[in-house]
Chain A
């Protein structure tokens, strides 16, 4: 019988009732009395010198409250970067200033130049058009390999070059890796692009700044995945507002996918302008603004080499990656191609030697930062593609080649710093093969061929590191923040609980799954437990939700706080029942004394805590409220095996995904339905990256895919029914719930499945194509079949952002 409550049950998501009936309270639903509206004037050129800005006409317009340019931010800090990378020579990365409004230069299409605050959005828009900006265009820096050459124009004139950092990992392994590759029996080389993506949460970004004259305090309502982080970054580094005078509220948030982690200029602007003007200031991004101002994702150009010995054991992996930072460093941008990418390059395999080189480059494009998976999809894609290519070159079964090199002993210390605590890669592969009926594939392929179609089977593994992160470790790696999580559990007199968590739900279903944990611990109904998040005024300092960390880190903090609650409640119960603390048991919401028939209900004890008439006041404070901060001592390492079958129409290059199976190991699972939903969403985005999504710029830095007319989001019709399994569970060894993150796995593991599958299909039709860069649009697949569009043989473009000319 499936459970209907507690851990392992799948109650429907309680938050969906308000989301689906239009009762959600999103940031744009917040209107503060007297608010004015801001519209930003954004650059329409990628790179240029600002000679002058004439705002006189705009200021004179009726209904305009204020017009701001960079001059108004004298003495205000730039948008800070939260992670500092140290390069191969031991020097800190180059870190340019990121002003709230462009200072002296514009550096990408969409860079805000000026802001108009007015009585209405349309007045502000009219006034923006009345601003005259004199800009001298400069050559756009777009091609990462050209950008790091000595004579390249510079995005930031005060930096020595466009190179943010040149990172080597592990630098001490470099020589040994080079030697291993030289002496290898076989080396498979692959050059590829990890395409730039735009996150496209359904809800665009919104910010409402409010200032209270009576106590000189500021409030920012914002679409954020981590309000405390925004409070700290904006308060301390940008505006100089102490945290006790600044409240940040992130109410219902309609999807984040990473792009709402970061502190954005518009948030600082609204908070700043509200105080300057003593009026609330609201900004709601248009979809067009979202395309050119939300941090983008991915955008790596990589060469990877896999060395094998004569018995097909992996002996070394060497990679060289150019990682696009865009025009400025977004909050966690430097960490994505380094610590979230290099540390995963061992994958599921016992490759003894790994060397990862990453050159992070400034270009005249929107800043690039974490997007669902962040670094781990890039690592998984190149590794699982090169392994598949090696299998094809060596004429061996791609599954067997992987199995032969699987890590089987845990804990396993990789050559790239991280230690996998647990896993069973054979189990998920076995499960996958059972799910996909591999033996029946040839018959299915023949059936496709009878209809003139080419059928392919793509299989791959993945491992990822999430549940970020041990603060001490990330501190050593350059993080300027800790990555613990917090929870306050407040038990009310009548027995109900409120959990104030530092995690933030923007689609993950915390309001449903978190109470399942506590319900099990105490033995009460889930509906007695309320989850509160997203407001710095009530939750303890928390780090928010990203990196598949909510349950593993935030859930663990809640677990620890609840343990403290139970320990105290037992003391109260012991006092009332005149027993010893150690003899008290809590089960099904009842306290009992071992060996007796004495019992007290949960509510009797919680009432006693607040009406302490019969209470050990000399030993115990009244009340029942506890806070815990949980700092994990390792990442969690979800892993699995994915497969898809695709059909290629050889006449058009069109790819149809016929089936997709995912066998994941997420450790213990609290709510299987929510986990399945998370995997579905991740798969949709991974398949989106592989087949559809492409953020493309032209040579001049104009964003070509600037709307849904050109940026292809995956739709339900494009996706098969997913087969999802998470029965192969090896519980995490170091968090109290034994859980691993599940939010990003689908997006991490699925792109190589699709590309492997399409290349397998093409090979069956006699087309020996080494690689095709994502997205595998019909035009690209068809061109590859004609021998004109394939890549992977040293021809990967130096920019992952292709214009219309050649790289369609």
Chain B
């Protein structure tokens, strides 16, 4: 780790102000950033820790019935607190290990947008809204490729609003070493259609599998998926743990399993 300055604001306003510095970077739960800093692969002159900002922590329900989760809320708190959206709570409960879940935050995960992270699939499939101090961003516009998002420099995720689907499930096939998803699929059935978001598979990061969405909107059953071809392996990740063809195949398998679990 290189030397750096750490500031720990207690209000959102102070955090936003601190992040106006050119070399300042936000530090959420640090479950990705700290190991990267320790390996000297990431550095910044100033880190703004968000863990002291109480106003971006917590879970509530808004007037539209959406589950609203503060950006600084840990995975463990979502697992315990998102009781009105069991598939989301279950997703949070299966991220990493207890240490990760007790420190890592939903805002940190979505801001990082790791192509193998769990939350991006939940947010995209749920058609969530990502809120920052100045604006609200629809999930479809938010995820812009591997580690790329619609966030501007210094912009903090203050809240994520999840519409609650009629049925939903998240099925994860883990990469055995890191225990990140090798491929994981979040399926959410709303009254106006089904959304299917896939993480771990694509080198563009989380994506929606539109053929599956169409098929499931028509007939919400595992059989509807079994009738489809696996998505194209073009652009899928190939690495030590699975090539593109295997990942494309797993997308189909895990989608069918998620549908089964949702029913």
Contact = CB atoms under 8 A, between A and B. Distances in A.
Interface of A: 122, 125, 288, 651-654, 692, 694, 696, 704-705, 708-713, 777-779, 782-783, 802, 804-806, 808
Contacts of A802: 240
Contacts of B178: 708-710
SS of B interface (majority): loop
A805 B238 CA distance: 7
B39 to A, nearest CB: 7
B242 interface: yes
Interface of B: 1, 39-40, 173, 176-178, 182, 238-243, 246, 249-250, 253
Nearest to B3: A122
B240 A288 contact: no
B239 A804 contact: yes
Nearest to B2: A126
Nearest to B257: A651
B176 A692 contact: yes
A783 B240 contact: no
Given A709-B178, A710-B178, A711-B177, A804 B250 contact: no
B240 A652 contact: no
Given A651-B253, A652-B253, A782-B249, A808 B176 contact: no
User: Which of A125, A777, A783, A805 has most chain B Cβ within 10 Å?
Assistant: A777
Given A696-B240, A778-B176, 4 more contacts: A288-B39, A704-B239, A779-B246, A805-B238
B177 A808 contact: no
Contacts of B1: 122
Contact of A778 (B239, B240, B242): B242
Contact of A783 (B40, B182, B239, B246): B246
A709 B177 contact: yes
A125 B242 CA distance: 35
A710 B177 CA distance: 5
Contacts of B177: 692, 705, 708-713
Q: Which of A653, A802, A805, A808 has the most CB atoms of chain B within a 10 A radius of its CB?
A: A808
B122 to A, nearest CB: 22
A130 to B, nearest CB: 13
Contacts of A122: 1
Given A712-B176, A712-B177, A777-B176, A782 B246 contact: yes
B39 A808 contact: no
Given A651-B253, A709-B178, A710-B178, A779 B173 contact: no
B253 A808 contact: no
Nearest to A696: B240
Given A692-B176, A710-B177, A711-B177, A808 B243 contact: yes
B34 to A, nearest CB: 14
Contacts of A705: 177, 240
A187 B146 CA distance: 52
Nearest to B1: A122
A244 to B, nearest CB: 43
A652 B243 contact: no
8 contacts: A125-B40, A651-B253, A652-B253, A708-B178, A710-B240, A777-B241, A805-B238, A808-B241
Nearest to A805: B238
Nearest to B238: A804
B79 to A, nearest CB: 19
A101 B250 CA distance: 46
A779 B253 contact: no
A41 to B, nearest CB: 13
Contacts of B173: 652, 654, 778
Contacts of A713: 177
B239 to A, nearest CB: 5
A651 B182 CA distance: 15
